[in-house]
Structure formats: C-alpha cells, structure tokens
Chain A
Amino acid sequence: MTRGVNPKVEPGRVMELEHAVIDEMDISGHWNRMFEQRVIFDYDVEKLDDVTVLDGGESMGWCYQCAQCVPVCPVDHVGSYGPRKIYRNLQLGIDLFTHDDLWLCTTCANCLRVCPKEVDMLQIMPAVRTEAVLNGNVPAELQDVFEKTARYGNPLGKNPKRRAAWTRGLDVEVPLISELGRKVDVLWWVSDYPSYHPRGIDASRALARVLTYLGVDFAILGAEEHHDGDSMLRAGEAGLFEMLAEHNIAALDQYEFDVLLTTDPHAYNAFLHEYPARGGTYDVAHYTQFLAERIEALGLTEEIGRTITFHDPCYLGRHNGEYDAPRDLIGALPGAELVEMWRSRENGYCCGGGGGGMWLDGLAADNQSMRLSEKRVLEAVETGADTLCVVCPYEVSRFEDAVKSTNNDGNLAVLDIAELLAMALGLATD
C-alpha cells in the first residue's frame, strides 16, 4: 500500500475548477478541489460480498442503517466513520481490503453494544484484516510492529533478554519463576509496555511493591514471556498470534501457579477467550480484580489529596464486564475524590490503542482531526480532575503524550492505579 497518498481518493475522482467564484470569493484552482465524484454511477456490491463471504465477516451484510453505532464510535468523533458508513461504502464498491477505513477501527466494541442487528465489527475487522495481511496490504508502521513482535516477542522491538531488567535495583524482590524452582501462588504476566516503557516500568515497580507489601507469593516469567498476541489477532496477524500463543502456553506449561495475574487487559482477554481453545486454561485475574479483593488487607492510610477521573479500558470493561474493581480501589484511596467523565463504564470512550491502533499513529493522523487519546484527555480535563487514573498499560504513554499535545501539561497527571496505591501505602517511589 502506498502511504502518504490517501488511497481512498482515486485519481479520476479529484476534481478541480480552474476558475470558480462563489459569494464573491475566488476559490479557483486547488481551493475548490473535491475528492469525491458526486454522482453514484453504480452499486458494485461484489465488494460487500467479498467481506460477507469471510468467516467472521457475515454480519457486515446485516446493517439496516439505523446508525446507532455512529454516535458511539470513537473514531467518528474525530473523522467520518462507523460501521453504518463502512457498510454503505461497501455497497458503493469501495474495496475495504485496501482502504484506510480497515485500520481505523480500534475494536472498542461500543458499536456492538448498541447494534440491534448484532453487526459484529470484532469479528469483521480481524477477518478482513487477516485477508489484507495475507495480501500484503498492511500499513508499513503496523507491518514493522508485526515484524518486531515476531522477531523479539514484543512490539517495541526491545531485547527479549532484558524483559525483566525493570526489576533491577528495586527495593523489593521480583523473582523469576524459573529460578525459584517451585510452585507460586501468583504468576504475574507483566506484559510488554510494563516491562520496557519507562512509564510502564514505573507502574510495574509500584505494583511489585504493593504485592510485596501484601505478602503475596509471586513470581514473573521474565524472558520466557512473549507478547500475549491479542492485539495482533485484532489487527489481522492471526498467524503471529498462533505463534505467540503456542510459545506462551508452552512457557506456562513448565510451571505451577494458582493465579495468572495480568497487568494488561488485552492479555487478560486473550487468556480468557483465546488461549483455552489452544490448550491454555488458567485462573486469570486482572491486577485490579486481585487487589480489589484485598482492599482491607491493604489498609491504605496516606492521604493522597487528589481529584481522580478514571478511564475504562475497552478490553477490561466492555469486552469483559469489569467496571467496579478499579473504582473500588480508587474509592479506597484516602483523600481521593472520583469524578466520572461523561462517557464512562459501558459507554467509555476508547483511548485509540486497541485493535492495532497502538501502532497506527501515522494512519490515524492522516484520517482523523485528533487522536482518540487527545479527545479523551480533553474530557478528563473537563471534569476538573487533577489525575487521570489508568489500569491498562497501553494508556499511560498514550495519555501522557496527549496531555502534552493538548497543552495540558501540569493540569492533569496520568497515573496507574498501582502508583496511586503505592502512594496511599507510603511506599517508596523511584
């Protein structure tokens, strides 16, 4: 796919009048350029059939244009998008397999929540993307991440041997399960960004301290842990997902543990819904769920004096129905007030990172007036909160960038719940 040139504009459809004056304003030349043929000359519905024939693509043909999906589609708020429009475009003969629209969906699941026909973009998008990937029609930035993940086991392209490097110099012990040589109560699935990204590492170190404070018998996999693959599957790299799942299941098979504790809601989703069919069945918990059950044992004492708003991760909330655990933890923070954004819980607005969006910043910039993360940060600022609490490792970096790009530096701190808990326990910070 050629990047830099918007592929949905066919050269024959660019129209430009040499001389044009409207309302006494001269709009000659490129000022009057139109990128779409106005008249519809045909309905080439074969393009729609190309989608509905796919396993998982069937429900694309079910849309009856009620348009309930559009107001809750996060992408439509920063561009023109939504399942209803994708259906119409397919009826009009637009080839979704080579179109930017294919990559804008973050698989946030808010459309499916409201769709009376159960048009399921969570099945459709991966199905079409898988075809596009097989045909090499992948945005270069995403292809780069696929390749890094295949090669290094993490989408950041970091040295896999240094996956546990974040534990060095920490004032608490984070053992590798391979070195313990025994069963543990909790095997902590740390994930990529918490292992490698500087702000992710801050949250990991805070969580390690909190788990230690609670006296939890835990360990990590270290270099044996590879990317969970969930977002690769949503982004259409089904083969890569299978490879990662196979590796991870084999890695986990070596060890005994009661609970698989995940930092990342995407990993949580994969372990709940994808791994069991491939032989990997675990008692999996998101860290907010694990900690919310231990609020009394935590005995939080330090006043933190913050007004906090909370962002629901799509893959914890809508995908898996967990809205209360993070809120219970925020509610237990001494001196913290929770103020909700106007779109929260079931209707939470997506950060833009899901479904491959984490690695499609360039494509989003080409097609959207702002990033979803920026839209969300503006909503957070609007609440009057001084802190945006997150519980998904995709979000700290996305929202911190958005705080800066929307000129809200100093107005809003982005903190993982683990960091807030560590503060309320008076534990050491880095």
Chain B
Amino acid sequence: MSSNRVVVIGGGPAGLEATALAARLGSEVTLVEKRPELGGTPIAENYAALTHGFQSAEDLVGRLIADATGSPAVEVRTGAEVTAVSGAGGDFAVSVSSGGDEDQVAAGAIVLATGFQHFDPGRETQQYGYYEFPDVIALQDAEAMLKAESFVTPSTGRPPERVAFIQCVGSRDRQIGNEYCSKVCCGISSKQAIEVRQQVPDARVFIFYIDMRMYGYWENEIYWPAQEQHRVNYVKGIVTEILAKNGRLLIRGEDTTMGRPMEVPMDVVVLAVGMEPSQGTRTMADLLGLATNKYGFVETVHDTLDTVTTNVPGVFVCGSVTGPCDLDDAISSAGAAGAKAVAFLRAGAGVPA
C-alpha cells in the first residue's frame, strides 16, 4: 500500500520549505527535528543578519516556521530523531524516537534536510590557535556578538581597534580533506566586516583572502559596499599562523600583491570557517543507504539536471545536505525536493504526477 505522507528530516530552512511545499501540494507531512526547536543552524548558531540583504535571520526563519507549521496536514516532531527506516519508496516505515519513546511513521517519500555544520577550526592542520587564544574566534562567534550588538575583544571586553578576517579556514584544503569551496564564507565575512564597522566605527577591519568569491549579486551588494563605503581593507594572501606577541595577536603571512612578508598585530581574528556535512547528514545518509561523495555530502542522480533525487527511490535531499550552499539556494532546492517527493507519491498511487 502507498502512503500520502512525506517525512521531512531536519527542521532548518530547507526542511521547513520542503514541508510547506509538500503540504501545499496536498500531502501529509511529518517534520522530524532533533533539536528542541525548529529553525536549524541559523537559529541555533545565533545568525543575526543574513548575508543576502542583511535581513533578520529570526524574522525570515520565523516566516518559514509559520508557513510550515500553519497547515493542519503538518505534524511537527521536535526533540525527535529518526532511528531506522525500513520498506521501500512508496511504503517506508520510519522509526522516530522521542524522549525515550519510539514509534513508526508510514511514509511514501522522505526528504532529507539535515544540513551542515561549521568546520571546527581547532582541528587538524590549522595554525590559528582557535582553542588557545580567546581573541581568535569563528564566524558564528562573531555572529553571536553582532547579534547582541556587542562586538568586543573577548579577552578584554573592550571594542577592538583592529579586526582581521581570515578566509578559507577548513575549505579548499587537501590536507584537511575539504577540497571544495564553502561558497558562503567570503560573503559572510564581508557582511560581518560591514557590521563591525557599523558597530565599532573606529575599528580597522581587514580581510585576508586567497580569492574573493563573491558570486552573483554578492559582488555589488556586499563586496563593493564593504570596500567602497565601509572602507574594509582587502589584502590578498591568507595568514599562515597566529602568534601571541606583547599581549596582542600577531598574524603572519605574505602580502602577495606586494610580494612581501607581513607581521601585523590584531585585536580580534575571525576565522571564516567553511561548511561540512552535519553529523545528522552523515548518520541519515548511512541509515538510508544514500550515495555520498568523499567529503560526506550526499550525491544526487545528476549534479546539474536533478539536484534533489538520490539513488534510493523515494528519498530526496535538499539544502546543504548535498554540499555547501547559501540560504537562497537551500530554499530553491527544498522547494524542488518537496515537489518531487509529492510527485513520487502520486506516481506510486497511480495519479499522474
């Protein structure tokens, strides 16, 4: 027998959009979220303003939550985890564990939206002292301070005079194993650099980069204003190491367009950490038998023509489950995944998709 239910795993922006779309198209949806609250990483990691358009993450994710949960066809299970899946496309039995209880949900299709996690800048080959120096922070740490409108040097609690962003931390690195570009960090760093300049106008802000990858409108909406209006200083050449000297951080690298070494003091260094598949993505991909690439992201049946259908019939993926992406792209792929999941149900029920 076939079910008219879609199980969406992951209650972040992508999962919320997939849920809303599948419900709007007439399916019943069970949305399973491991965290006690919906909203995913943007909420859990204190995102303040989103890179595209500087809109409030809370407001936008709140709209997604309202859309997804407003329908009577949607059942939300927070603080719940998928522990097993049996059956096949059209007739899955999804075991959901919540607060020690476990039950089975019958579903015709599954959408996986378990997302990414920030690269841990303390691991492996990084020489940036993330766990050693309190004033070396990551993008999400900076984001939390910006959200509280209190961007300070963590060790002193005072506003910093000099702030450096270091790009490509945990991305584009063969030794770490993440050879891909994480797509969003150049934009987020530039966005945060603007916000630091707005909140701490006397601070000098620098961005050290290998290549600035400000694709599409991020170029004119973020990169150019950051430099032209907010006087953020971009220096080509990322930092090799961070040392402590005279109570200050000393960043050492090469200023490549000058062809000269640099040793420059900073108060706060923000590491532009990249994206990795979340633990949830790894666990679910394994549990569902999904093909993954060497980085642990899920592969789809075609990397250009079908970015949401997996090798397992009836299982669809969206958002950063398949690789680094920004929110605009996550929402787009989530809509596609929700629609294709419903199409799959109808085809199974003999209804033309």
Contact = CB atoms under 8 A, between A and B. Distances in A.
A180 interface: no
B255 interface: yes
A49 B228 CA distance: 11
A88 B257 contact: yes
Contact of A45 (B204, B224, B260): B204
Contact of A62 (B204, B228, B235, B258): B228
Contacts, number: 52
Main secondary structure of the interface of B (DSSP, over half): strand
A80 to B, nearest CB: 11
A64 B234 contact: yes
A40 B227 contact: no
B231 interface: yes
Interface string B241-262: 0000000000000010110111
A88 B258 contact: yes
Contacts of A91: 233, 235
Contacts of B261: 38-40
Interface in A38-63: 38-43, 45, 48-49, 52, 58, 61-62
A61 B263 contact: no
A64 B227 contact: yes
Interface in A71-106: 84, 88, 91-92
Given A40-B260, A43-B264, A52 B204 contact: no
Given A52-B231, A91-B235, A39 B262 contact: yes
Nearest to A44: B204
A8 to B, nearest CB: 14
Contacts of A40: 255, 258, 260-264
Interface string B116-140: 0000000000000000000000000
Contacts of A84: 257
B234 A41 contact: no
A64 B204 CA distance: 18
Contacts of A39: 260-263
Contact of B228 (A42, A45, A48, A61): A61
A65 B257 contact: yes
B206 interface: yes
B24 interface: no
A88 B235 CA distance: 9
B263 A41 contact: yes
Contacts of B258: 40, 88, 92
A91 B234 CA distance: 9
B233 A65 contact: no
Given A40-B258, A43-B204, A61 B264 contact: no
B236 interface: yes
Contacts of B265: 42
A43 B255 CA distance: 11
Interface string B21-50: 000000000000000000000000000000
A92 B263 CA distance: 12
Contacts of B255: 40
**How big is chain B's contact interface, by range?**
20 to 34
Interface in A6-41: 36, 38-41
Interface in A172-221: none
A43 B206 contact: yes
Nearest to B256: A65
A61 B206 CA distance: 14
Contacts of A62: 224, 227-228
Contacts of A36: 260
Contact of B264 (A42, A88, A117): A42
A196 to B, nearest CB: 45
Contacts of A88: 257-258
Interface in A274-307: none
Contacts of A38: 260-261
Nearest to A91: B233
Interface in A140-187: none
Contacts of A52: 231
A11 B299 CA distance: 61
B225 to A, nearest CB: 11
B279 to A, nearest CB: 38
B240 to A, nearest CB: 13
A327 B264 CA distance: 55
Nearest to B164: A43
Contacts of B231: 45, 48-49, 52, 61
Contacts of A64: 212, 223, 227, 234
B230 to A, nearest CB: 10
Contacts of A58: 228
A51 to B, nearest CB: 11
B176 to A, nearest CB: 27
Contacts of B260: 36, 38-40
B108 to A, nearest CB: 51
B207 to A, nearest CB: 11
Among A42, A48, A52, A64, the most chain B Cβ lie within 10 Å of the Cβ of A64
Interface in B211-232: 212, 223-224, 227-228, 231
A39 to B, nearest CB: 5
Nearest to B252: A39
Interface in B152-190: none
A92 B262 CA distance: 11
A65 B206 CA distance: 15
Contacts of B257: 65, 84, 88
B227 A61 contact: yes
B269 to A, nearest CB: 14
A41 B261 CA distance: 9
A19 to B, nearest CB: 24
Contacts of B263: 39-41
B227 A43 contact: no
Among A41, A43, A65, A88, the most chain B Cβ lie within 10 Å of the Cβ of A43
A42 B161 CA distance: 13
Contacts of B224: 62, 117
Interface in A295-329: none
Nearest to B234: A64
Given A43-B233, A48-B233, 19 more contacts: A36-B260, A38-B261, A39-B260, A39-B261, A39-B263, A40-B255, A40-B258, A40-B260, A42-B264, A45-B233, A61-B227, A61-B228, A61-B231, A62-B224, A62-B228, A65-B236, A91-B233, A92-B258, A117-B224
22 contacts: A38-B260, A38-B261, A39-B261, A40-B260, A41-B264, A42-B265, A43-B204, A43-B233, A43-B235, A45-B233, A48-B233, A49-B231, A52-B231, A58-B228, A61-B228, A61-B231, A64-B223, A64-B227, A65-B257, A88-B257, A91-B233, A117-B224
The 9 closest A-B pairs by CB, nearest first: A40-B262, A39-B261, A62-B228, A40-B260, A40-B255, A45-B233, A65-B257, A39-B263, A88-B257
Interface of A: 36, 38-43, 45, 48-49, 52, 58, 61-62, 64-65, 84, 88, 91-92, 117
